[in-house]
Amino acid sequence: MKKNIVVISHCILNQNSVVNGLERAKGPFPISKNILEKDISIIQLPCPEFLYLGFNRPPMNYDEYACIKGYRDFCKKLLLPIIEQLKSYIENGYNYLGIIGINESPNCSLTDRQGVYMEEYFKLIKDNKLNNNFMEIPTWYNEDNLGNLLNIFEEFLKRGNFYEKQH
């Protein structure tokens, strides 16, 4: 039985949670279908922006989120149960493939300037000695422009030992 699991930023499955007007898909990003077709289980992170500031929040950048008093602690509080879930899955034979984030997000970006939420996530990953494999959804990716994201996804799976665990 395949036992692979991935953590994903909330808006990969729910573009309705992003700042109104900045959506790039009607619901989930199309990559979601590829994850499910490979029988990979998903842990969807809660959206810290939506939960902290609500649906009608203004667009904000990294510095604005980083300056909100108590926001980092809020992010860590959201992430702690996720880390405990991951540890439990791993202890029970699951292969944690890594995390999929959103490029240029003030919270879920993984490269260039890492988002506030992901800074806290990777601190917890390191503290708990968990796999730090990642990929992110590029800013150009949307329902009409799938580009080479499937190649990026395949590389992510290889780094996460997806194919080695199939036998």
Residue 41 lies in a domain: yes
Residue 167 lies in a domain: no
136 pLDDT above the threshold of 90: yes
List the domain range (segments joined by +) for residue 35.
4-161
Residue 166 lies in a domain: no
Residue 8 lies in a domain: yes
What confidence score (pLDDT) does residue 76 get? 98
* Residue 90 neighbours by CB under 8 Å, 6+ apart: 96, 130
- Nearest in space to 4 (alpha carbons), one of 125, 100, 94: 94
The whole-angstrom separation of Cα 101 and Cα 109 is 6
Number of structural domains, the chain?
A: 1
Residue 65 lies in a domain: yes
What average pLDDT does range 121-130 have in this prediction?
96
- Nearest in space to 58 (alpha carbons), one of 91, 94, 25, 22: 22
Contact status, residue 100 vs residue 136, Cβ threshold 8 Å: yes
Distances (CA, A) of 58 to 7, 53, 65, 87: 26, 9, 11, 35
165 pLDDT above the threshold of 60: no
What confidence score (pLDDT) does residue 116 get? 98
What average pLDDT does range 48-71 have in this prediction?
97
Report the share of the chain in percent with pLDDT over 90.
83
What confidence score (pLDDT) does residue 167 get? 47
pLDDT band at residue 99 using 50, 70 and 90 as cut-offs: very high
